[in-house]
Each structure stands twice: as structure tokens, then as C-alpha cells.
Amino acid sequence: MTDTAAVLKYSGDFTSGPFGTVTGKAEIYKKATVIGVKLAGFNSSNGPALHVFISKEAMPVNFIDLGALKSTTGNQVYTVSGMPDFMDYRYISIHCVAYNHLFGSALLQ
């Protein structure tokens, strides 16, 4: 997804939430009609049922679930279904769905 044809549209640095430590960068890439979220230089404390969300708020209430976090360290890419409006969905959040705990989020700019 992040090949030379993909265009970086938005990015933001992760900040830790009240229930975990998250560092790295969230990047939104677009290639034709495909949107991908890349977690770059990513590191997160471990927890149960961690998911990656695109959200309207840092603490996700209105969100799109991109699925389970693939790894607590390293670069990873998630494909986004549909075409969310990133003027509304401004956060990438790492969220524990088991306990509704925010581990960290990145404000996209």
C-alpha cells in the first residue's frame, strides 16, 4: 500500500492514553480507490483485544474498526473499507475493546 504510487494524505503522532503507552506515527495513504492506514515506528504496551480504530474522537465513540492490532511493535498497514471523510474521522486510536480502554491515539493533520 505504501509504494511509490500511494500518496500520503494525513499523518499524526501517537500520544499515550490513560490505559497504555503508544508511540510512533499514523499515516493515511491513498492509491486510486484504496485507502490504507500505516502505523510507522509503532510501539504499544500490550493488552487484551487491542484494535485499530479510525474515529471522530480520541476516545472512540463514532468509529470504524480496522480490526485487531497485528503487533505491538513495528510498521503495519490496515486497509480501510469505503471512503471515510477524514475531515470528520480525525483520529487513529488503539483501543481495548474488551474493557473499553484507550491505549493511545493520533490526531491526523
Residue pointed to by grid coordinates 481495548? 96
- Secondary structure letter of residue 13 according to DSSP: E
Q: Is 23 exposed, middle or buried (0-12, 13-18, 19+ CB in 10 A)?
A: middle
Report whether pLDDT(1) > 70.
no
Report whether pLDDT(41) > 90.
yes
Structural domains of the chain sorted by starting position, each given as residue range(s) with its CATH number in brackets: 7-107 (2.60.40.200)
Within 8 A by CB and 6+ apart from 85, the residues are none
Residue pointed to by grid coordinates 480502554? 101
What grid cell was written down for 4? 511509490
Report whether pLDDT(87) > 90.
yes
What radius of gyration, in Å, describes the C-alpha atoms of the chain?
A: 13
Band of residue 32 on the pLDDT scale cut at 50, 70, 90: confident
Task: Count CB atoms within 10 A of the CB of residue 74.
Answer: 12
pLDDT of residue 3: 63
